[in-house]
Amino acid sequence: MKLSWGFIASSLYCSAFAARPTVSPETARLILAQRLGLSRFHSIEHADSETLRHINVYGGRQQKLFGGEDSDRSKAHLLLWIEDAEQDEATVVINDGSDRTQDFAISNPPPASDNDRLIQDFISQTESLPERPDPKKQTYTSSLEIEAGLPNNKLELYNEYLSVFRASKSDNFSSEELAKVLDAAKNKAAELGFSTTMVMMPASKTRSKRGANPWGTYDLPSKEARRQNPEAVLSSNPEASSSPNPKVSDLEDFPVIAFAEDQAPVRGILPSCFDSLSACQKLTHNCSSHGECKVLHKRRGSGSNQESVDCFGCACSPTVQEVGENKGKKVTYWGGPACQKKDISVQFWLFVGSGVVLAFLVASAIGMLYSMGSEELPSVIGAGVSGPVRK
């Protein structure tokens, strides 16, 4: 079924701008990549001044020098991609967690199959990125709020900051149902201050045939980079080149180590307290199997400093392993908010203490030798020595 653009846009952002610029699909891709934090995979070497101007205007809020107030802003981002909308042109509506809304149109939009490939490539690029620095856990909190505010199985979270919601005519959404979902996204964005990007693509019948790469060319991380080294990026340019294409089977045969959800390593920066026992068990993967979630302290305080909820956290327990017959046991202590880090404080202080003592002994020896060499010789040694007789 078709989705009414006017009904959805009015429910999400009240109204769209009457006069909005129209950009090419390549420029739209660069803007979306900039907003999603994926600009490292998309080159702008051959971009003209008009393209750069559009990227600066619609590419999202700029990071403040030396951080500034960026530490108080949410790092989360919500991408809503709606296919088969009942409208004449593709439209992108953006909001950066404020009361200001911008939009622009896409000329000659690509078909749904190319759009799906672009979204999948965005997801692959997102998952290959390292964890974002977020000392105040704004991304972590906002991602949970987005999931709670959009109770739909079409919402997916990637790399702890990017939430993607996709809908098309095959999902059989009514305009009213979709409007409720987008209205919930609008309210959560206004409350938490995270950025949203909504892409409305028209039905396929309004589009003309395009080339092999309607969105342009860009880089993709290799499968090995996504599994092992998130910093390594392999150029996967869809353009035809003189070099032979790599065999897909070589990448597909690479061994993949799969973890269960409760056994996978904990990612990101976790809060010191959780509001419920289930949240603690889920987000810490049951304390990484090195402890259990307990109530760290009850609600306490008074007046404006009163804590209204209990504080749940991980109580770590040591792991004991049998070294061998008659060889004793090996005890490993754990720490961290999810008991995911080995406690090596004893080894650390032994190493630091030994280094300090050794440095003190070496410095003392050098100082002693220097003081002995600077002392004057007694005068008795040179008493019977006279100079040569002049003839």
Regions in the chain scoring below 50 on pLDDT: 1, 5-7, 10-17, 65, 206-207, 227-262, 301-303
Q: Cα-flanking dihedrals φ and ψ of residue 374, to 5°?
A: -85, -5
Residue 117: predicted pLDDT: 92
Q: Is 376 exposed, middle or buried (0-12, 13-18, 19+ CB in 10 A)?
A: exposed
The answer for residues whose C-beta is within 8 angstroms of residue 280's C-beta and 6 or more apart is: 274, 287, 293, 312, 313, 314
DSSP conformation class of 67: B
CA dihedral 204, 208, 209, 212 (to 10 degrees): -80
Residue 263: predicted pLDDT: 53
The CB-side HSE value for 22 (13 A sphere, CA atoms) comes to 8
Residue 248: predicted pLDDT: 36
Q: Is 274 exposed, middle or buried (0-12, 13-18, 19+ CB in 10 A)?
A: buried
Q: Is 42 exposed, middle or buried (0-12, 13-18, 19+ CB in 10 A)?
A: buried
- Whether 89 and 202 have beta carbons less than 8 Å apart is answered as yes
Residue 64: predicted pLDDT: 55
The dihedral through the CA atoms of 341, 346, 351, 356 has a sign that is positive
The dihedral through the CA atoms of 8, 10, 14, 17 has a sign that is positive
Distance CA 216, CA 238 (A): 8
Distance CA 203, CA 83 (A): 7
Residue 272: predicted pLDDT: 77
Residue 365: predicted pLDDT: 92
Distance CA 276, CA 1 (A): 41
Distance CA 294, CA 316 (A): 10
Residue 361: predicted pLDDT: 95
Q: What is the pTM of this model?
A: 0.54
- Whether 231 and 221 have beta carbons less than 8 Å apart is answered as no
